[in-house]
Amino acid sequence: MIFSVLLLCFLIGCVAGLRSMMAPAIVCAAAYLRWIHLEGTPLQFLTAQPALWIFTFLAIGELIADKLPKTPARTSAMGLIARAVTGALCGAALAASGGKALAVGAVLGLLGGVAGAFAGYYIRRGLVLQMRVPDFVIAVVEDLLAISGGLFVTSRM
């Protein structure tokens, strides 16, 4: 069980690396639906309906903004920091739900956020070049991967 919770902390960070606001939106939904349990932890606020609405709104905005031509790369300083922070938050939440140390979950989530950001960037760029399809097409597939991956990870808790 220890290994699986820690792996899930890293994987939810990878989701944050793909879409920085999708991971916290999914973690909030999982907490709201009681797939994960954050009662009595410092992250209990993620179970509240307002947190769910705020992160969902931000995630939808990010899905739209990602398709715009002037959106900065996720590997730029601000994009990378956002992914590291949301990855850490989500990793800590899964660790807390699994009875593990928040700090360990946060570090794993942060590492997953950075790894996911770079992997997602290079894989997306490579697919666009190799398949000769518009970036938009690969971006939508990436959206679906982030959503389904986040739901898969949180449903394993």
Six token digits for residue 69: 């031509």
Q: Are 25 and 52 within 8 A, CB to CB?
A: yes
Determine the Cα angle at 149 with ends 76 and 41, to 5°. Answer: 85
Nearest to 95 by CA among 1, 9, 4, 3: 9
CA 101, CA 104: separation in Å to the nearest integer? 5
DSSP 17: H
Residue 47 and residue 13: Cα distance in Å, rounded?
19
Tokens of 50: 């307002």
3-state secondary structure of 33: coil
Helices (H), 19-156: 22-32, 49-65, 77-97, 102-131, 135-155
pLDDT tens track for 11-62: 999 999 999 999 999 999 999 999 999 999 999 999 999 999 999 999 999 9
The number of C-alpha atoms within 13 Å of 21 and in the hemisphere containing its C-beta is 16
| Domain boundaries of the chain, sorted by first residue | 2-155
What does the pLDDT look like over 56-90, one tens digit per residue?
999 999 999 999 988 999 999 999 999 999 999 99
Chain position carrying tokens 């709104």 = 57
How confident is the model at residue 69, as a pLDDT? Answer: 87
Give the pTM. Answer: 0.95
If one counts every other C-beta atom within 10 angstroms of the C-beta of residue 87, the result is: 33
Q: What percent of the chain has pLDDT over 70?
A: 98
- Per-residue pLDDT of 102-116, as tens digits, reads 999 999 999 999 999
Task: Please give the Cα distance from 26 to 140 (Å, whole number).
Answer: 17
